Amino acid sequence: MSIPLILVISFFLVFLGGSVFFCSRYKRCPSDKILVVYGKTGGGQSSKCIHGGACFVWPLVQSHGWLDLTPFPVGLDLRLIDPSSEDDVRVKVPSTWTIGISTKSGIMENAAERLLGQNLKQVRQLAEDLISSKMRTVSMPVGMEVINSVEAELAKVGLHLINLNLKDETS
């Protein structure tokens, strides 16, 4: 083989290998997930969140993870104070809270910092604990200010309330 042919083949193989390597580091984010790029992200941030887009993840200085946006239900039997009773009688109110990871700027970054690497069971338990702690001293009927305060607690960890379904009360 001649030297020019060997150089052309070598150049082609290096170019092909480099192209495959760089293409493998380009990450596209589907609409039902958040792509979290962490490592050296610039801007003094611990991570960069991408929802419905794509970016290049630099080898050696960055890595990536995914947050799933699939909503999940949290079923709770709330013990609410009955305002019509004089002795602060608690009434059992079954409820279903539909929770999901938020895509709002600021809240999405909270999710990246606090939820990345946790499985659905751990995230569900965290949401259940946050809701339960906020609903301990609530009396009936449940007003918007209570729901807004639960929403604010969930936002601190990157979650948001999608739906709340309160069932009939039982004693």
pLDDT over 80 at 91, yes or no: no
What crossing angle do the helices spanning 144-155 and 120-134 adopt, rounded to 10°?
140
In the chain, the N- to C-terminal Cα span, in Å, equals 91
Domain ranges of the chain: 25-69, 72-166
CB atoms within 10 A of CB 108: 21
pLDDT of amino acid 98: 95
Domain 72-166, CATH: 3.30.479.30
pLDDT average, residue stretch 30-37: 94
Task: Name which residue leads in pLDDT, 90 or 139.
Answer: 90
pTM (two decimals)? 0.77
Q: What's residue 158's pLDDT?
A: 95
The pLDDT of residue 24 is 80
pLDDT for position 85: 65
What is the per-residue pLDDT for 119? 92
